[in-house]
């Protein structure tokens, strides 16, 4: 369509852009995806992440079933999540080093609390942050997050780097799953009636992210105790 001089320049600039996905998507009665929510925090998050990982490097854990996970894991906060032949558990120290887990960086706490509030969970104080690294091909099979002491608090999940297809199921492993693509900066919050829904991540596809390279990093904040 031809426009004449009275049209503001910005109008034409944006006229041909693809429609933007909504900034908030509700994926369950008490579950939301907040697109790009972490981006304003990112310049503070990345150095904080480096610092945590220098103290508690990623490692591949072995599940109670004897499988080595394709996802590499670290933690920060008062409790970290570990798994070995004897089971899954939250521990106050890193079994790898015998030291307490690195403290939860202030910017992580701010991000988690702000996202939880957006989803209607006020007064969420996370005490554990699990950090997952996916290289291309890594995946997370369907699971429930149920090693926390209570389920009244949500889980806040932050995705960075390569995109991934998140699978959000129901309360039975066999329930149909929704596919939710997650991109750099997206934050998912779920809790309440959705807190124990099965979920997983499909194998991450090859690619390179301008800031994070050939990997996807996911943080999940919880109240473990
Ligand atoms: C991931 N996330 O996105 C794996 N769990 O890499 C999870 O397993 C998860 O994103 C509970 C709540 C949100 C999550
Ligand atoms: Fe999970």
Q: Does 19 reside within a domain?
A: no
CATH number at residue 54: 2.60.120.590
d(C-alpha 225, C-alpha 207), whole Å: 37
Contact 189 CB / ligand 1 (< 6 Å): no
pLDDT above 80: residue 96:
yes
The boundaries of the domain holding residue 76 are 35-222
**If DSSP codes are grouped into helix, strand and coil, which group holds residue 8?**
coil
DSSP letter string, 32-54: EEETTTTGGGHHHHHHHHHHHHH
Phi, psi angles (nearest 5°) of residue 43: -70, -20
Q: Does 17 reside within a domain?
A: no
Contact 115 CB / ligand 1 (< 6 Å): no
Ligand number with the minimum distance to the CA of 201? 1
**Nearest residue CA, atom 5 of ligand 1?**
145
pTM comes to: 0.90
Query: Is residue 85 very low, low, confident or very high in pLDDT (cuts 50, 70, 90)?
Result: confident
Q: Does 148 reside within a domain?
A: yes
User: What is the per-residue pLDDT for 6?
Assistant: 44
Q: Which two tokens stand for residue 7?
A: 């049209």
Closest to 115 in 3D by CA, of 152, 159, 145? 159
**Nearest residue CA, atom 10 of ligand 1?**
157
Q: Does 4 reside within a domain?
A: no
d(C-alpha 108, C-alpha 65), whole Å: 32
The residues near 106 (Cβ < 8 Å, ≥ 6 apart) are 48
143 CA → ligand 2 middle, Å: 6
Q: Does 11 reside within a domain?
A: no
Q: Which two tokens stand for residue 5?
A: 């001089």
The residues near 188 (Cβ < 8 Å, ≥ 6 apart) are 27, 31, 32, 33, 34, 156, 157, 159, 166, 180, 182
Q: What is the DSSP letter of 97?
A: T
201 CA → ligand 2 middle, Å: 9
Q: Does 5 reside within a domain?
A: no
DSSP letter string, 141-197: EEE----SS-SSS-EEEEEEES-EEEEE--SSTTS--EEEEE-TT-EEEE-GGGTT-
Contact 217 CB / ligand 1 (< 6 Å): no
| pLDDT (tens digit per residue) in 3-30 | 444 444 455 555 566 776 679 999 999 9
Contact 138 CB / ligand 1 (< 6 Å): no
- For the chain, percent of residues with pLDDT exceeding 90: 84
Q: Does 181 reside within a domain?
A: yes
Rounded mean pLDDT, 91-103: 95
Count the domains in the chain.
1
Which of 37, 155, 194, 200 most suits a substitution to test ligand 1, by most atoms within 8 Å of the C-beta? Answer: 155
Q: Does 127 reside within a domain?
A: yes
Helix (DSSP H) and strand (DSSP E) numbers for the chain: 3, 14
């Amino acid at each position: 369509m031809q426009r004449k001089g009275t049209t503001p320049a910005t109008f034409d600039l944006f006229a041909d852009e693809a429609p933007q996905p909504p900034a908030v998507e509700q994926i369950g009665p008490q579950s939301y995806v907040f697109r790009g929510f972490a981006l304003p925090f990112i310049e503070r998050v990345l150095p904080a992440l480096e610092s945590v990982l220098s103290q508690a490097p990623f490692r591949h854990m072995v599940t109670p079933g004897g499988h080595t996970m394709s996802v590499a894991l670290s933690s920060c906060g008062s409790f970290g999540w570990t798994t070995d032949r004897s089971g899954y558990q939250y521990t106050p120290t890193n079994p790898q080093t015998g030291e307490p887990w690195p403290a939860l960086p202030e910017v992580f706490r701010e991000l988690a609390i702000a996202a939880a509030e957006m989803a209607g969970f006020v007064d969420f104080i996370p005490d554990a942050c699990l950090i997952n690294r996916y290289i291309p091909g890594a995946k997370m099979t369907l699971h429930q997050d149920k090693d926390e002491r209570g389920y009244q608090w949500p889980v806040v999940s932050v995705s960075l780097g390569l995109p991934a297809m998140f699978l959000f199921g129901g309360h039975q492993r066999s329930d149909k799953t929704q596919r939710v693509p997650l991109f750099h900066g997206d934050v998912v919050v779920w809790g309440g009636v959705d807190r124990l829904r099965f979920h997983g991540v499909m194998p991450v596809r090859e690619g390179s992210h301008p800031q994070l390279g050939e990997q996807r990093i996911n943080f999940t904040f919880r109240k473990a105790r």
